[in-house]
Every structure is written in C-alpha cells, then in structure tokens.
Amino acid sequence: MMSRSFWGWGADGSGVTPAEQTMLEARVAPLVGSELSWQQSPEIGQISLPATRATLPDSLAELLTATPTDRASHTYGKSFRDIVRGLAGDFSAAPDLVAYPATEADITRILDWASEVDAILVPYGGGSSVVGGVETPVEVRGDRPVISLDMSRLSGVLEVDRHSRAARIAAGTYGPALEAELRPLGLTLRHYPQSFEFSTLGGWLATRSGGHFATLHTHLDDFVESIRAITPTGEWESRRLPGSGAGPSPDRILLGSEGTLGVITEAWMRVQDRPHFRSSFVGRFTSFSGACNAARLLAQSGLWPQNCRVLDALEAFVNGFGDGSSHLLLVAFESAHLSVSHVSQAAVEIVRHAGGYVDSGAGQGGERPDRSRFEGNDRSTPADDAERWRDSFLRAPYLRDGLLRLGLISETFETAITWDRFDEFVEGVRAATIAALLAEGCGPTPILSCRLTHVYPDGAAPYFTVIAPGRPGVERLKQWQAVKDAAMDAIALLGGTVTHHHAVGRDHRRGYDQQAPATFIRGIRAMKKELDPTGMLNPGVLFNC
Amino acid sequence: MMSRSFWGWGADGSGVTPAEQTMLEARVAPLVGSELSWQQSPEIGQISLPATRATLPDSLAELLTATPTDRASHTYGKSFRDIVRGLAGDFSAAPDLVAYPATEADITRILDWASEVDAILVPYGGGSSVVGGVETPVEVRGDRPVISLDMSRLSGVLEVDRHSRAARIAAGTYGPALEAELRPLGLTLRHYPQSFEFSTLGGWLATRSGGHFATLHTHLDDFVESIRAITPTGEWESRRLPGSGAGPSPDRILLGSEGTLGVITEAWMRVQDRPHFRSSFVGRFTSFSGACNAARLLAQSGLWPQNCRVLDALEAFVNGFGDGSSHLLLVAFESAHLSVSHVSQAAVEIVRHAGGYVDSGAGQGGERPDRSRFEGNDRSTPADDAERWRDSFLRAPYLRDGLLRLGLISETFETAITWDRFDEFVEGVRAATIAALLAEGCGPTPILSCRLTHVYPDGAAPYFTVIAPGRPGVERLKQWQAVKDAAMDAIALLGGTVTHHHAVGRDHRRGYDQQAPATFIRGIRAMKKELDPTGMLNPGVLFNC
C-alpha cells in the first residue's frame, strides 16, 4: 500500500507540480486581485490529536492501531471542508482507533467488541468521500469511542467466471489493483470514478458510485450480481443471479446504504471484455443549451455511446479545451468485438442535425488497442480529446488542493433533473449559487462552470464547479456552508436530486431530508434498528438512528 | 371495463375456440391414452361462497361490494391451482368484500377503516397472478375480514412529458388502455408481459414484471422514474428523477414488494418513441445448448437485441414452429429513428459463427410500420415468425385453461442462472421435475419443454412448461404441489432464483425462504411493521408478518 497524504488528495508527494503551481497562479491571480501566497501543507508531527478514548483490547491488538498517522488520515474524507480543516491542523474529529481487519471473521470480532463497548464504527474504503461520509463529528459521537474500519486488507479479485464475464472481488480492492488483476484475463470492470486511484469497490457500492459510462449503465448498481456484507446481527449474502424478480432486490438496499446497514465485504461483479474498437468525436456548439439538447437526442437514440459528456465553454476552457468560445459535446463509442464506425457515424449525424459543428471525417473510428490512461498504460500516440479529458479529470483533485492552499473556495456539486425542467433548473441553480457567492463576499467574479457527466433518455446529471476567493483560513468554511446550503435548497426546490453519484453522507443531509419519502426513511430506520440495534454503524449518515 | 371470467383466463366468452379444442384434443390424446372429456366451466349461480364476515360500513358503501361475481372473481389469481379450484367450484377463500376506490383519498379511507376493524387488505391489479399473490387462504385470515382492493378505477395516462419521454400513469391502468392512450402521441411503454391484456401497471410494478425486451431492460424496474404509494401510515412518493445516488433507491423497495408495504397508486414511467425500423431472423440449431450459447454471445456482444429468445425443439413444435427437429433462436432489433440492418447483420454473423443456420438474406431489416399484435392492430402483411410467436404467446393462457378442463396438469415455472452453471442447472431442474412427475403418476411421457425468455451478459432466464396427465378433479392439486416442490427445491439447490419475473406470492415462499438473505428478511419485516403496524397488507406474501 502506497503512503497516502493524511490531509489531502492522493499519494504522499503527488501534490501540485511546480508547473501546475505556475498555471494555477496565472489563472487565479485575476480572480483574487491580491498577492497570492501558498498555505503550507501540515506535517503530521505538528498537529494535535484528541486523546484516544478507547482501550485497545488485547484480543484485537493485532487489528487495531492508534498511531497519529492512522488516526489523522482516517479523520476526514476529501471534501473542501475536510481539506481546509486538515490544512488548519484541525483533527478534533479523529477516530479513537483504526481497525485493519484481514478477514470477515476479524470484522465480526470487531463488531462484537464494538457492541460490547457501545462504540461507533465507520466503514472506510479509500476515504475519498466528498460528503462527510467517513467522519463522525464530535457532537454525534458524544462519549462513544469511534473506530474507523479500514477495509484495505480485504483486497483482491477472488474468483473469475470467464464464461459469464463476472468476478468476485473483495470490497477493499482499490481501482488500479482491481483492473491490474483483471487485465491479464482480457477483462475490465471499466468503472472509473474521479476517485478511481484512491477508492475501493466497497466504497463504490456503498455510495452508488457513478463511473465511466455516460449513458445506459451510469451507476455501478447495474454491474452488481450479488453482495456479501456483515451486519452487527449477522451475515447478509444475496444469491449470484443475472436477474431476479423475487421480492425487492436485497442488493439495492445495500447499494447506497453508505455503511449504515452493514459492512460490505465482497461482491460478484459483471465485468467486460476489454474494448478494441473505438471511435470518438467532438461536437462544438454556440450555446450550452444546444449542446445539452444534442446530448438528449443521443441519449434517446438507442445508440448508447460510452461517453456523451457536455462541457460548457468555461469548463472546457478551464480544462484546456479550446478558447472558451464553444460549448463541447464529447462523444465516444467502444466495443470489444464489433466495429463502432457505423454507430459513431449515426451519432455524428444526430449532433450535426442538432446544430453542432463536427470536423469532417470525425467519428470514423477504427481498431485501437486498449490503452486507458486510468491504468497508467504507456502511450506512444498523441492524446486525443477523450484522453486529454481523462488526464485533466484525474489531476483535478490535486489542483483543487492547490486552489485551497491559495486561499480559494473550490467546490463541486452534482445533481440530476428530467429534460422538461432542464434549462430552467440549471439556470435556477446557477443563479442561486452565484447570488450566495456574492452575498458571502466571494466576488466580484466567482467562477461557476457546468458539465453534464451522465445523460439519460429522460434527463441528465449536471455537475457544477465553483471557484471563488474566500476569507482567510477556516473562515472560508462559513462562506462555503452558506453557498452549499443555497445550492442544495435551489436543487431541492427546483426538483433535482441532492446527489447523482457523490452520495449523501453528512454534508447532503439538508437536501436529502427534503427529498427522501418520509415513509421510506421511517421504514429504513426500522430496518437499521433491527440489523444494528446499538446504532454502531455510521450514525447520522443518511438518517438519524 | 369488459366482463371478465370469474374462474379462468381473460374476458367472458374468450375461452378456447372450437378449432383450438380440436387441436388440443389431437395433441393431448396420445399423452393421456384414454378418452378425453371436457370439464364444464362453472357458472356463477352454481358456486357457493362463504358468508361475508364484514359489515359494509355506510360511509364506504359506494366503494365496497359483496356481490357473488365480485367476490368470486377476486378470490384467486390465474395459476394452475386457481383454475382447478375454480373449475371445482371451490371459492372458500373468497374475500368478504371487494373495494373499488376511485381516488387516493378513497384508498386512505379504506385503509383507515381496515385498521379500525383489523381487516386484511389485498391490493388487486388485474388478478393475473400465477403465484398466489392475491389470495388470502383461510388459515392466514383467521377471524379477520378480507377486502380485495381492486385498483381498476384509478386508470389512465395522467400526464405526458414528451420532451423527456415520460408519462405519469395511474396504477390501475390495464396494458391495452395504457398503450391506446400513448399511441396517438407516438409513444409506447413497450411492456408486454404474457398477461398484458389482463394486468395493470401497478401489478407489474409490485411484481417486478418482465416484458418485451429480452436483453438490457428485461424487467419493468429500469423504466421507473418515480412511484407514488399509500401505506397504512402515510403517503410514499419518490422524486421524479432520471438517475440518483441519494441513498438506497426508494423505488426499488416498492418494486417487488407485492402489496405488502403499500398500495401503489401511480408512477412516472419512461416511455419510448414507437419503433419504425425493424429486423428479425431465426437461427436454427441442432442442440439446445448450442442455441443458448449463441444467445450468450449475443447478450455479451453489446448489440442489445430487443428479442433474443431460445425455444427448445419441443417448445418450438408445440407453438407451431417447424417439425420439432431444430432448436430455435429468435432475434429481433427495432428502433424508432435508425436503421437496424447493420446491427442485425452483425447478429447474424455471431449466430452463424456459433453454429446456427440462418437463411441467406435474413436479418436485412428495413422500415416497417409499428403494428404490434399486442395492441390488436390491423395487419395487411403476412405474419412473420416474431408475430406468430406473439400470437401463440397471447393465446397460451386460454389453451392452458383448455388443458385443465381436459384433466391435465399444466404449469410453467421460470428462473435465472449464470452461464457458468447453465447447462448443468437446466439438466438438473429438468431431471428433478421429470422424476417428480413420474413419481406422482403423471407418466408415462410427460411433456417438459424449455425456452429462454430473457438473456443477460452473465446468464439467462430459463422458462419451463410442464404438460402431463393428472388424476381426476382436485386430486391433481396434490400431484401439482409435489412436482412444484421438487422443481423449486432443485432450483434452490442448484443456485437459481425461485422466480425471474412471475413473483413470489404464496406459491414460491418455499424457494424464496431458501434464497433471500435472512438478515434482509428481518430488515424488511421491521420496515413493514413500521409502515403497516396491524399487518393489513397481503400478510404472508413474501414473508410472515
């Protein structure tokens, strides 16, 4: 396991490069209008942690640790608020202990002990939550000890069924390890959330992660054959089935349960043959609405492109695509066995018909070896737009940390809405967010860009990025909270979802409470009480115990 | 509302035609080896019903009835066991009252009253359950009055969002009415279970109905945008969203809940543009296993054919396809906007490569008006294989009733299994079922045929049809139960699901209890107790209260 930053994104030493620093300074200077200074990264020796309030039981000594690095690095996820607190050396919410179970039996022993001492247990995958999903705030924990349950030792592809194209995978497996094990078999899960390098299968399942595919199978949910979990009162294992109509799907209860009902330990996942044929093209539009309308037509066409992402002109410019005068629609098709030229050409026609400019000759496609940047392959040919987008996509969290060290507010939030309300919704959320930024003194020209990450026949998932100057230090947190609340309220009022794929955690409870059917919440709380009678699992995430 | 048979399939007077009678006699004679006689259909005036044990409350007088026809026709679904009991005039399980609410407010009033008098309430769509899903057996009801809640007055397409291709539809809407309302708008839900003419949207949702599409969107689940339901303790309404990652999906709890958690009143459904381009072809194989393997390759190809159904040679012969020497793979593509010739040709290549014989020139496709037989369109061109299959498919329940009147046992059961275990599974289920038939004296040559109704990248849904001679009258029920149990046990033992799309009801509880995670059942029972504290909704279906 590589050494990870205890406060910021990624591996130790992988922060912004000198070249990225220069680039950020050049871009941020006009926004801030004052001298830029880089806040120092915190050192583990300089932070203070609260005393551990739990005694390490002898019987579990080999599974539990209380080192400062373990506790600090399991205190938060990677949201704006988490990084700002980390930069300020505030680790007051640190867990008392960190557990590293290696087997399901270990987990059961830890759960039994947690029940005895009335501890709180927080299932922890890669810790990449941007919604407060792995933190237990001081006011929630009260006098209860808090244990972070790090799943990283339950790792690996455990079994492969080549004939059915499925694999049994341990929940603690990180993205790159998972793909590295499938690759020699010619297989891939092909799930690439932005957190890919630093998140796990179990975390993806628990949060209904959104990944590679912009249409059709947008969330990981549809790739699940069966899930195994350990609840405080027994094992939960669904049967491995390609499809079933026997009662409500047990898997769909665990998908999105965010560690509140059980600890997901492994899953049988549908995997795929690695793509060989590919084709991609870019459509350029004079309006964001026009680009989105073309995406709608593609989503309703039955062509199911693997990529179908819209970047507004600002988002495109910030990510290094063009001069900021065009709104872009990135389209790509891929297939393991069949040429995609025909479908790609059909898509080009649709995009042109919808008013998009597409280079002549684009979308021809062809045979191209699978060289996903996500897996760090060599690359001997020049990057195309899709690859440049992925590079930019994977570096974004590092750059975000850089912006925070420069004193800015940088936040992303995402949602989904049906097409009939789309234009009004995006404008309404944008206006409410800008108004809140200005009211909080984050002017005069805060950046708010938008892209579509996933599109459906009946709607789309807009993803907003905010970059704005903030008050020094942790004062930014209050500004951020006000802006976050305003955006959430606008989303709730205008009919969207508080999250399309980032999850609810603690940060989205305000919107989730407005959105979830009250009867459903009553029902799922009753379910939790039955399975987790002491309320040990991630209390306060999704709902109050 | 047409007048429906109170004991058998379909509309009054739509039973087997004289021509079908002759055909059945010719086919059944060699199987039975004795003189055939047709059991008379029961008359409503001749059956005896138990006395109604509930007083019709004045305040609900306009919503509740206790006429013999209403009570008899709401006693059972349409399973083998239901028809045999109906033919025998056994309506001992009749509900005490039948309610016909016209509004959600009516439903709330009925639920409130049911709570006061500790009644049992059975949500009733079209009553086409083949799993005992709408019956309350005498031993379950005890002293509690039973009310059948017929949803047929909550009918119609209530709202259409053409831009997002979605429609809000009342739960009591029958299949043909639903399509008739969408048709002038150029839209279709395109969900055609075998029960299409005599089942409702609400029933489809409550049972996770399987429909038209053999790949990709096999169950209705994926077409749901949001669901509205009334529980005994409040309304349940999810937000209309194209996709969401906010907690476990509330809709997926209601999907498959079989009337145990709430009364589904309406849903926003994703609808589609009506298909214009079509192409279909048939692959012929010398082995069932070979045909299934070709279906696997198609399911894994990414072509997503709309039809991809395998009929074994016996199933093909019985349904009037060929001479019983070939196993068939029926493949069809359809699209509203784009030619499907290219994908159909690619599918032909795959099928040939897998050893199937396909007529030369097949799969060319072309523009063909949408003339679904399901909707009773005129048809001026000769029927193709797909259309003949659909005709046969829709007449099957009437023929089944005919077989039962001839004294036979006729049953279908369906399941799903991953490809790695497929051949062994089908053989194992087949052997166990045949052994049980012979042990029950249903020999010497019972018919057991198999088809695949739906295929997935990782597995398939085999569907078995049993036709065998039985002992006279209701004695058949004991034979049927022994065979049903043997088949269910084999399915459970060999790793399948007790149902792929027929639902669990009461008849599949034996298998469901073996299959569902015990922790999940504990959890959903706790949820039910919270939402339905008196246990009024369909007690004993899915789980014991």
The 3 state secondary structure assigned to A228-242 is EEEECCEEEECCCCC
Q: Which of B530, B544, B543 is nearest to B262 (CA)?
A: B530
CB A64 within 8 A of CB A99: yes
Average pLDDT, chain A: 93
Is it the case that residue A527 has pLDDT exceeding 80? yes
Cα–Cα dist A316/A324, whole Å: 6
Amino acid at A222: D
The token pair at A318 is 């910030």
Instruction: Say whether B525 and A523 touch across the interface (CB within 8 A).
Output: no
For residue A499, which residues of chain B lie inside 8 Å, CB to CB?
A: 244-246
Cα–Cα dist B240/B269, whole Å: 9
Secondary structure of residue A414 in the 3-state scheme: strand
> How close A291 gets to chain B, by Cα (Å)?
15
> How close B456 gets to chain A, by Cα (Å)?
6
Size of interface A-B (CB pairs under 8 A): 289
Phi, psi of A394 (to 5 degrees): -75, -25
Q: What is the bridge-based pairing of β-strands A447-456 and A307-311?
A: antiparallel
Is it the case that residue A370 has pLDDT exceeding 60? no
> What residues have CB less than 8 Å from A455, skipping those under 6 apart?
A214, A215, A295, A296, A298, A299, A308, A310, A461
Mutate to test the interface with B, among A452, A519, A543 (most CBs of B within 10 A): A519
Dihedral over Cα of A418, A419, A425, A426: its sign: positive
Alpha helices (H) along B259-320: 288-299, 313-318
Instruction: Say whether A247 and B516 touch across the interface (CB within 8 A).
Output: yes
Strand partners, A311: A328, A451
So what's the pLDDT on residue B376? 47
So what's the pLDDT on residue B370? 57
Here the ipTM equals 0.95
- Given the structure tokens 């072309």, which residue do they identify? B366
So what's the pLDDT on residue A45? 93
| DSSP per-residue letters across A93-146 | T--SEEE---SHHHHHHHHHHHHHTT-EEEEESS---SSS-S---HHHHTTS-E
Q: Which of B365, B277, B457, B342 is nearest to A340 (CA)?
A: B342
For residue B270, which residues of chain A lie inside 8 Å, CB to CB?
A: 457-458
Instruction: Say whether B236 and A301 touch across the interface (CB within 8 A).
Output: no
Phi, psi of B443 (to 5 degrees): -90, -165
For residue B333, which residues of chain A lie inside 8 Å, CB to CB?
A: none
Say which of B216, B300, B497 has its CB closest to residue A239.
Answer: B497
For residue B492, which residues of chain A lie inside 8 Å, CB to CB?
A: none
For residue A207, which residues of chain B lie inside 8 Å, CB to CB?
A: 245
So what's the pLDDT on residue A1? 52
Secondary structure of residue A7 in the 3-state scheme: coil
Instruction: Say whether A246 and B499 touch across the interface (CB within 8 A).
Output: yes
CB A347 within 8 A of CB A363: yes
So what's the pLDDT on residue A378? 39
Secondary structure of residue B507 in the 3-state scheme: coil
What chain B holds in terms of domains, given with CATH numbers, is 277-369 (3.30.70.3450)
Phi, psi of A357 (to 5 degrees): -95, 125
The token pair at B151 is 């949803």
Strand partners, B159: B168
Q: Which of B174, B201, B198 is nearest to B267 (CA)?
A: B201
The token pair at B179 is 């399509």
> How close A18 gets to chain B, by Cα (Å)?
37
| End-to-end CA separation in angstroms for chain A | 35
Half-sphere exposure of B398 (CA within 13 A, CB side): 22
For residue B256, which residues of chain A lie inside 8 Å, CB to CB?
A: 245-249
CB B382 within 8 A of CB B373: no
Low-confidence ranges of chain B (pLDDT < 70): 1-2, 368-387, 389
| Minimum Cα–Cα distance from B334: chain A residue | A302
Q: What band does A30 get if pLDDT is binned at 50, 70 and 90?
A: confident
The token pair at B339 is 């030619």
The region, left, alpha or beta by phi > 0 then psi within -120 to 50, assigned to residue B54 is: beta
So what's the pLDDT on residue B464? 98
> What residues have CB less than 8 Å from B502, skipping those under 6 apart?
A245, B130, B131, B207, B413, B414, B508
Instruction: Say whether B527 and A529 touch across the interface (CB within 8 A).
Output: no
| End-to-end CA separation in angstroms for chain B | 35
Cα–Cα dist A93/A75, whole Å: 6
For residue B231, which residues of chain A lie inside 8 Å, CB to CB?
A: 519
Helical pair A288-299 and A341-353, crossing angle rounded to 10 deg: 140
Instruction: Say whether A244 and B517 touch across the interface (CB within 8 A).
Output: no
So what's the pLDDT on residue B13? 81
Q: Is residue B209 within a helix (H) or strand (E), and if so which, with residue range?
A: none
So what's the pLDDT on residue B514? 95
Query: Average pLDDT for residues A62-78, to the nearest whole number?
Result: 97
Instruction: Say whether B498 and A249 touch across the interface (CB within 8 A).
Output: no
CB B395 within 8 A of CB B325: no
Secondary structure of residue B41 in the 3-state scheme: coil
Cα–Cα dist B239/B226, whole Å: 6
B270 DSSP assignment: E
**CA A409 and chain centroid, separation:** 19
Cα–Cα dist A218/B242, whole Å: 11
Q: Which of A534, A492, A419, A224 is nearest to B166 (CA)?
A: A419
Q: Which of A102, A132, A138, A100 is nearest to A120 (CA)?
A: A138
Amino acid at A332: A
> How close B358 gets to chain A, by Cα (Å)?
20
For residue A524, which residues of chain B lie inside 8 Å, CB to CB?
A: 247-248, 527
Cα–Cα dist A393/A453, whole Å: 11
